[in-house]
Amino acid sequence: MADPRAFISFDFDHDEDHKNLFVGQSKNSRVPFTIQDWSAKEAMPQGEWERLVEEKIRRCNMVIVLVGQYMKTATGVAKEIRMAQNNNVPFFGVYVGNAGPGSNLPEGLISWRTIAWTWAGIADKVEQMMQEGKNKKGWF
């Protein structure tokens, strides 16, 4: 696939600015993916949010989790990771803001799948994700 789709998972309460920077920079950088900014634009009932987000995640090739300082309290991010797992959508994390290897990770994301925010590193992870999960040749 020439232009894989990435769903961006982030802590809405603390990292929306980082998400906007990430999306904006990705459009002005030479990256091997397209970000689908399908985040909810308005409040909605939990069940409706879950159905909407899971459908969006299913339509993407991967989920990129923006890992900020307050991930431990980001319950929506943990749900999005579970949705990715349940739908065989590969995912990885990118540290944003003051977060780094010593920061708390959301449930389901492990440290060796979380990297610093460099476009070269992200490009390598995108390439890796395109060989995993539902993107793997022969997966049905």
pLDDT digits (tens, 9 = 90+) for 32-43: 777 766 666 666
- Per-residue confidence at 1, pLDDT binned at 50, 70, 90? very low
Report, as an integer, the average pLDDT of 10-28. Answer: 89
User: Is the model more confident about 38 or about 94?
Assistant: 94
pLDDT at residue 39, rounded to an integer: 65
pTM, two decimals, is: 0.91
How many alpha carbons lie under 13 Å from residue 69 in its C-beta half-sphere? 3
pLDDT range class, residue 103, cuts 50, 70, 90: very high
Q: Determine the 3-state secondary structure of 35 from DSSP.
A: strand
Length of the chain: 140
Contact predicate 74/97, CB 8 Å: no
Weakest-pLDDT range from 11-15, 62-66, 79-83: 11-15
How many other CB atoms are there within 10 angstroms of residue 62's CB atom? Answer: 24
Ranking 42-46, 50-54, 130-134 by mean pLDDT, the lowest is 42-46
User: What pLDDT is attached to residue 138?
Assistant: 65
What pLDDT sits at residue 71? 87
Phi/psi at 9 (nearest 5 deg)?
Answer: -105, 130
Is pLDDT at 17 greater than 90 in this prediction? yes
Structure tokens at 113: 């799948």
